[in-house]
Amino acid sequence: MAKIIPFKAVRPTRDKVSLVAARSYQSYTKDQLEARLRDNPFSFLHIVNPGYRFDKEISGIERYSLVKNRYLEFKEDIIFVQDEKPSYYVYRIVDRENQEFNGIVAAVSAVDYENNVIRKHEDTIENREVLFKDYLKTVGFNAEPVLLTYPDNSVIKGIISKKQKERAEYEFTTTYRDTHYLWKVEKPELLEAIEAEFKNMPHIYIADGHHRSSSSYLLYKDLKAANPEHQGHEAYCYFMSYLIPESDLRIHEFNRLIKDLNGLTKEAFLIELDTMYRIENRGTIPYKPSKKHHFSMYLDGEFYSLYLRKTAYNTETSLDGLDAQILFKTILEPILGIKDLRNDNRIMYINGKKDIVNIKSNVDSGNFAVGFGMVPVTIEEMKQIADDGLKMPPKSTFIEPKLRSGVTIYEF
């Protein structure tokens, strides 16, 4: 049973939300970041980059404390205001390609994370978990929801659809040409209906935000241990999430670029590949695979298709059948010598939303020797791996929607 509850969000005023909302800090180039900090005093980037005011790079606990100060200033200046009643927030995104994402922003249970009601499909890195946990403990808020997905539900869909016929609290379009809408749900009967539907779900799944989820769980454990009067309903027992139905989730692949052939010549590399793959030279015409266990490869000015020889590869678990795992176990590790997919600087990942020609341009530049493309993971594969308690290789999925920071904020 998934426990999903409403909360009193801290939100930008209607007139400033489009100015406040920001992409993930890491997604901006240095020039983009400088321009937004210089030209937009209301951007949430001023909160997460407090050193801009002092023209200084600031890190660690000093930065965390200044982040909290900037956040409190935004509240003092009535840029942020907290809702008076606990609410769910219906959130809709329509992107530049006219894809729609419709879901609910809510608080989800850290205990559900602990008990595997909230299921994971990716490994996390411990030092990143601890760093973000310490950040959350200092600043006292979370401004970017974890993306969760749940099986399509007609009752929740009906509530969302009916709510979306009303005037939205927010409607704004970003410079990326994504349009965002938000509606407050605060009627008791609707709150109860939404909570009851989620209670009937045995599992929900993390789509994007494994480190944020894990950090929030670590924060819960720390604050619970430090509170002798802990009762289980404190704000730190929950973390903010955006829950969307599985049919709205968009999963793209991550393609791989490798800097060298591990000392092999082109010819020797192709011979090594032949053991596990049927290889076809596609020439200079870009080739993108269309089936599972088929890969594209760009090497020395030419595209190749690689078809896995099924008799040469054993599939014993759901993870074994994942294309990212197959590529790792048959090529990256045994032939190219890449054993640590997270930390080896010989590998780079590019999301599959970018054209397959992007692989070609990176290899042609001389920065990489070979590139591999694959088909996206399906929601069924992702769920099965999570259900089996297994973990995908890093960068197996590029998942949409990508959320904005600072639109709804959860305090604890």
In a domain, 390, yes or no: no
Distance in angstroms (rounded) separating the CA atoms of residues 305 and 283: 10
In a domain, 383, yes or no: no
Q: How many residues does the chain have?
A: 412
List Cα–Cα distances, 173 to 29, 64, 92, 195, 399, in angstroms: 21, 30, 12, 30, 21
Q: How many CA atoms lie within 13 A of 29 on its CB side?
A: 3
Q: How many CA atoms lie within 13 A of 101 on its CB side?
A: 25
Q: Is 160 in the same domain as 263?
A: no
Distance in angstroms (rounded) separating the CA atoms of residues 208 and 283: 36
Q: Which one-letter amino acid corresponds to residue 209?
A: G
**C-alpha angle 76/411/13, rounded to 5°?**
45
- Residue 201: how many CB atoms within 10 A of its CB? 16
Task: Report whether 67 contacts 47 (CB < 8 A).
Answer: yes
Structure tokens at 172: 């704004």
Q: Is 247 in the same domain as 120?
A: yes
pLDDT in tens, 291-329: 999 999 999 999 999 999 988 899 999 999 999 999 999
**DSSP letter at 7?**
B
Q: Is the pLDDT of residue 56 over 80?
A: no
Give the pLDDT score at 119. Answer: 97
Task: Find the helix or strand (DSSP H, E) in which 288 lies.
Answer: none
Distance in angstroms (rounded) separating the CA atoms of residues 109 and 102: 21
Give the pLDDT score at 323. Answer: 97
Q: Is 153 in the same domain as 227?
A: yes
Distance in angstroms (rounded) separating the CA atoms of residues 273 and 128: 36
Give the pLDDT score at 310. Answer: 85
Q: Is 319 in the same domain as 212?
A: no
In a domain, 247, yes or no: yes
Q: Which one-letter amino acid corresponds to residue 198?
A: F
In a domain, 97, yes or no: yes
Structure tokens at 99: 């894809």
In a domain, 238, yes or no: yes
pLDDT in tens, 64-108: 999 999 999 999 999 999 999 999 999 999 999 899 999 999 999
Q: Is 227 in the same domain as 293?
A: no
Kindly provide the b/e burial profile for residues 323-346, where b requires at least 16 CB atoms within 10 angstroms of the residue's own CB. Answer: bbbbbbbbbbeebbebeebeeeeb
Give the pLDDT score at 48. Answer: 94
pLDDT in tens, 218-232: 999 999 999 999 999
Average pLDDT on 329-342 reads 95
* Res. 3 pLDDT band, cuts 50 70 90: very high
In a domain, 23, yes or no: yes
Q: Is 39 in the same domain as 184?
A: yes
List Cα–Cα distances, 27 to 71, 134, 379, 403, 405, in angstroms: 21, 22, 25, 12, 12
Task: Find the helix or strand (DSSP H, E) in which 208 lies.
Answer: strand 204-208
* Res. 60 pLDDT band, cuts 50 70 90: confident
* Domain enclosing residue 345, as ranges: 254-375
Q: Is 57 in the same domain as 122?
A: yes
- Residue that wins the pLDDT comparison between 357 and 280: 280
In a domain, 28, yes or no: yes
Task: Report whether 237 contacts 368 (CB < 8 A).
Answer: no
Q: Residue written as tokens 């800097």?
A: 259
* Res. 21 pLDDT band, cuts 50 70 90: very high
Give the pLDDT score at 347. Answer: 96
Asked whether the whole model's pTM tops 0.75, one would answer yes
Q: Is the pLDDT of residue 55 over 80?
A: no
In a domain, 228, yes or no: yes
Q: Is 108 left (phi over 0), alpha (psi -120 to 50) or beta?
A: beta
Instruction: Residue 88: name the closest of 247, 245, 240 by CA.
Output: 240
Omega within 30 of 0 (cis) for the link into 401: yes
Q: Is 11 in the same domain as 146?
A: yes
Q: Is 101 in the same domain as 212?
A: yes
Q: Is 246 in the same domain as 259?
A: no
Task: Report whether 306 contacts 296 (CB < 8 A).
Answer: yes
Q: What is the domain count for the chain?
A: 2
Q: Is 81 in the same domain as 12?
A: yes
pLDDT in tens, 381-402: 999 999 999 999 989 999 999 8
**C-alpha angle 264/266/272, rounded to 5°?**
65
pLDDT in tens, 149-202: 999 999 999 999 999 999 999 999 998 899 999 999 999 999 999 999 999 999
Q: Is 190 in the same domain as 293?
A: no
Q: Is 28 left (phi over 0), alpha (psi -120 to 50) or beta?
A: beta
Average pLDDT score over the chain: 95
